[in-house]
Amino acid sequence: MTGQPELSNRVFTVPNILSFGRLLLVPVFLVLLMQGRDAAALTVLVISSLTDFLDGYIARRFNQMSRLGQLLDPAADRLYIFAAIIGLAFRELVPWWLVAVIVGRDLLLLVLGIVLANYGYGPLPVHLLGKVATFALFLGMPLIMLGLAVPALAPFSQPVAWAITLWGAFLYWWAGAIYLIETLRVIRPVQAK
């Protein structure tokens, strides 16, 4: 016994349905954000975050973890991060270089995933630093939006939001470097044969 929970091949589980719902809300979130409807966009983001927590809890509690769920959950997370950063950059509320930093790191992970697949490996396990970086971005972006939705809070939320977002972007790349090193470590013995 490895201590890892058994993953099913089931598609229609409650956690997967919640994840599909999160994915369907991404374009709604992006449109609201680009239209400057910040309170509505923030509401969609909060609902999405709650369903993210709920799908993970249900999957673990009721043993409904699936391979599809392992793909949908991080995909939804990435799409919300992309939608938030692109929507805010479109409105010139965050610099485009921040978009490049965040999207560039995920492009690196995509390339690493292709390299690993070419060597017969699946994706690397998620590193704790990657989870912390994602959490920081998920906290920083909504705080930026909170200042937009409730201008009275902006003097307090914006400095905290920017500190967390920039720290999250730094950690995002630090985790990316760890994934790069791990990929090289995994494929190096195969190349030596």
Task: Single out the residue in 58, 93, 128 at which a domain terminates.
Answer: 93
pLDDT at 1: 42
pLDDT at 3: 52
What ranges in 150-193 are assigned the alpha helix state H?
154-192
Answer yes or no: are the C-beta atoms of 34 and 82 closer than 8 Å.
Answer: no
Examine the domain organization and report whether 64 and 101 are in the same domain. Answer: no
Per-residue pLDDT tens for 67-108? 888 888 888 988 999 999 999 999 999 999 999 999 999 999
Examine the domain organization and report whether 100 and 69 are in the same domain. Answer: no
Measured distance CA(16)–CA(73) in Å, rounded: 8
Examine the domain organization and report whether 116 and 189 are in the same domain. Answer: yes
Examine the domain organization and report whether 80 and 105 are in the same domain. Answer: no
Task: Single out the residue in 93, 120, 153 at which a domain terminates.
Answer: 93
Examine the domain organization and report whether 99 and 176 are in the same domain. Answer: yes
Quote the DSSP letter at residue 3.
Answer: S
Say whether pLDDT at 127 is over 80: yes
Examine the domain organization and report whether 88 and 100 are in the same domain. Answer: no
Examine the domain organization and report whether 86 and 135 are in the same domain. Answer: no
Examine the domain organization and report whether 87 and 176 are in the same domain. Answer: no
Examine the domain organization and report whether 114 and 63 are in the same domain. Answer: no
Examine the domain organization and report whether 102 and 129 are in the same domain. Answer: yes
Say whether pLDDT at 4 is over 60: no
pLDDT at 69: 83
pLDDT at 155: 96
Say whether pLDDT at 114 is over 70: yes
Which of 117, 90, 76, 98 has its CA nearest to residue 172?
98
Examine the domain organization and report whether 72 and 157 are in the same domain. Answer: no
pLDDT-derived band of residue 5, with 50, 70 and 90 as boundaries? low
The helix-helix angle for 154-192 and 128-149 (nearest 10°) equals 150
Share of the chain above pLDDT 90, in %: 65
Number of domains the chain is built from? 2
Examine the domain organization and report whether 62 and 81 are in the same domain. Answer: yes
Per-residue pLDDT tens for 21-60? 999 999 999 999 999 999 999 999 989 989 988 988 998 8
**Between 2 and 104, the higher pLDDT residue:** 104
Domain residue limits at 190:
94-193
